[in-house]
């Protein structure tokens, strides 16, 4: 995937959108607006629980005061995709082009207009509050909560092991309607990915035929790190960008072994790359290059890109990272349904998930080592929900959970996902829920790419400090767990809990943004309607 110059043909160049006045302002002594910043003072309410000597619980409300600061200037943003010529990369590029040009095209079901459905940023709303006169809920677009980059304005480039231009890649993917492809073909044909790195041991052997656009060398080396850094810097300079976000949307790799002295610390990892150690994956090399240049890096595949050494390096450099694995169809349903069942007091005892798909992701996953990465990311998505209910589940008890993925070329990108949930109900009864979900895989994943880029960029403009004398503003933790809503196996800072429940993930994201403008989480108590 290619970075690129505005005079070149290797990138989709964005534009700078004129900033408009905000949709809403907050009238509060705790909020200050300037031309450049939004500053707020926020009281964070939590409940601390302690145990007495006789094992009784004591709950103590606690309030901590913080200051938040948001840079209102978005600037010009670019995203670079590793795997730009794949199904996801070609689809999201064509989709942004179509939205930028406000295209309409013919389908067998009638006219279709470009949209950003499936994007939490562009396609969902959040409750701001209630109307002072009518008491009706006021809901606003998510994208208007804070000044955010607009996907239409993104410059796009990247790398791919396949040298096809984006028009040919779009045809190979077989995702989009021919009528839409014809409208964007000319621009897509002018985009060509930059050469990527290819370490055959990390992806399935059946991908070798695509690898005609690769840098010299079949294992990690410092030259690869430096070349990626140069690509990012060139892309930024040639497109006049203020920021770049790099995202892995390429093939699933096998898990890398975590080896003491190799990838367990930042220093060891850097030395392992320099010495050409065979247990450093391509995705980790991309992550290291991005971290060293303080460019946010997001892993959209299930492998363990962020080995301990990469995590430590990000923390040392205060560089943002996020992952792992896009949460688009089956897993998103699972993280919502299991949360609902357990919260309803129903004991889920087994989950059987079967998938068959025919795109290149499915072909790559037909290799056992690569499938194992996916199996791990899909299998842990109910752990926190189970652990939260000690009435239904004893310590260390867990539902049986099986994941199967089969490659079926005939169905292409239209993945079939079949799930059976088996549960215990009242007085020894049982409930079985079966779901059959046909998901157009890349059309679900592409909006997640957009959300991850927009939200990661947003977090680079948010800082906070404690409400104590002499405290200084600082950024959020390097591990952007705020992105969890879009990811199957959310990466969290070491020692902090992983949250997979979909509702909690969305609430966390919304409430952090509300805190940035001095608003408390919106209560659903609606006491104003209940205490008449």
Please report the DSSP string for 357-372 in residue order: E-SHHHHHHTSHHHHH
For the domain 1-328+441-532, what is the CATH superfamily, name and number? Answer: NAD(P)-binding Rossmann-like Domain (3.40.50.720)
Q: Is there a cis peptide before residue 499, judged by omega within 30 degrees of 0?
A: no
Render pLDDT for 133-192 as a digit per residue (tens, 0 to 9).
888 899 999 999 999 999 999 999 999 999 999 999 999 999 999 999 999 999 999 999
Residue for token pair 């993925």: 405
CA distance 322 to 482: 9
- Cα(140)–Cα(121) distance, integer angstroms: 11
Give domain limits for the chain.
1-328+441-532, 330-440
pLDDT at 38 over 90: yes
d(CA 229, CA 215): 14
What is the C-alpha radius of gyration for the chain, rounded to an integer number of angstroms? 24
> Under CATH, domain 330-440 is a member of which superfamily?
Dihydrodipicolinate Reductase; domain 2 (3.30.360.10)
CB atoms within 10 A of CB 20: 8
Residues 6+ apart with CB under 8 A from 355: 330, 403, 404, 405, 406, 415, 416, 417, 418
Is the pLDDT confidence value at 251 over 80? yes
Q: Does 18 have pLDDT greater than 60?
A: no
Q: In this structure, what DSSP letter does residue 326 have?
A: B
pTM score: 0.92
* Per-residue model confidence (pLDDT) at position 461: 98
What angle (nearest 5°) sits at the alpha carbon of residue 331, between those of residues 524 and 401? 110
- pLDDT, residue 19, reads 53
User: What are the distances in angstroms from CA 320 to CA 130, 290, 316, 365, 453?
Assistant: 35, 9, 11, 28, 12
* Topology match between the domains 1-328+441-532 and 330-440: no
Give yes or no for residue 475 having a pLDDT over 60.
Answer: yes
| Residues labelled as active-site residues | 325, 374, 415, 488
pLDDT confidence bin for 464, thresholds 50/70/90:
very high
Q: What integer pLDDT is reported at residue 377 of this predicted model? A: 65
Whole-number average pLDDT of the chain? 92
Residue 474: Cβ within 10 Å count: 11
């Amino acid at each position: 995937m290619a970075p690129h110059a505005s005079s070149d043909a290797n990138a989709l160049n964005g534009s700078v959108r004129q900033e408009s006045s905000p949709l809403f302002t907050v009238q509060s002594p705790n909020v200050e607006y300037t031309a450049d910043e939004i500053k707020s003072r926020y009281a964070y309410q939590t409940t601390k629980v302690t145990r007495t000597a006789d094992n009784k619980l004591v709950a103590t409300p606690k309030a901590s005061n913080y200051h938040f600061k948001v840079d209102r200037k978005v600037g010009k943003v670019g995203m670079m995709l590793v795997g730009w010529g794949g199904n996801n990369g070609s689809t999201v590029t064509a989709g942004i082009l179509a939205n930028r040009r406000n295209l309409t095209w013919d389908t067998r079901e009638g006219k279709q207009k470009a949209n950003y459905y499936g994007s939490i940023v562009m396609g969902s709303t959040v409750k701001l509050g209630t109307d002072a006169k009518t008491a009706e809920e006021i809901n606003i677009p998510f994208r208007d909560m804070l000044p955010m980059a607009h996907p239409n304005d993104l410059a796009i480039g990247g790398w791919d092991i396949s040298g096809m231009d984006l028009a040919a890649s779009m045809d190979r993917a077989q995702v989009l309607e021919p009528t839409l492809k014809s409208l964007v073909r000319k621009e897509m044909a002018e985009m060509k990915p930059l050469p990527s790195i290819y370490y055959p041991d990390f992806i399935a052997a059946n991908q070798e035929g695509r690898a005609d656009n690769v840098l010299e060398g079949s294992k990690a080396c410092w030259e690869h790190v430096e070349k990626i850094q140069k690509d990012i810097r060139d892309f930024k300079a040639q497109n006049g960008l203020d920021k770049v976000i790099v995202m892995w949307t390429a093939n699933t790799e096998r898990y890398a072994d975590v080896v003491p002295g190799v990838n367990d610390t930042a220093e060891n990892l850097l030395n392992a790359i320099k010495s050409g150690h065979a247990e450093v994956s391509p995705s980790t090399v991309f992550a290291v290059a991005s971290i060293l240049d303080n460019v946010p890096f997001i892993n959209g595949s299930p492998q363990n890109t962020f080995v301990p050494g990469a995590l430590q390096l990000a923390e040392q450099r205060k560089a943002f990272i996020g992952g792992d694995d896009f949460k688009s169809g089956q897993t998103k349903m699972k993280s919502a349904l299991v949360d609902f069942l357990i919260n309803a007091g129903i004991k889920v005892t087994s989950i059987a998930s079967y998938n068959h798909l025919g795109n290149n992701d499915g072909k790559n996953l037909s290799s056992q080592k690569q499938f194992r990465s996916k199996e791990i990311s899909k299998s842990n998505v109910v752990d926190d929900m189970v652990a939260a209910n000690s009435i239904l589940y004893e310590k260390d008890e867990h539902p049986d959970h099986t994941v199967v993925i089969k490659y079926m070329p005939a169905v292409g990108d239209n993945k079939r996902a079949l799930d059976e949930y088996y549960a215990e109900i009242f007085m020894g009864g049982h409930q079985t829920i079966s779901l059959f979900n046909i998901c157009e895989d890349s059309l679900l994943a592409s909006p997640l790419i957009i959300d991850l880029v927009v939200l990661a960029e947003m977090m680079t403009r948010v800082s906070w400090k404690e409400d104590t004398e002499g405290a200084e503003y600082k950024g959020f933790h390097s591990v952007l767990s705020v992105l969890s809503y879009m990811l199957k196996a959310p990466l969290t800072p070491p020692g902090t809990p992983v949250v997979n429940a979909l509702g909690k993930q969305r609430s966390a994201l919304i409430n952090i943004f509300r805190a940035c403008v001095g608003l408390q989480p919106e209560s659903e108590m609606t006491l104003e309607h209940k205490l008449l």
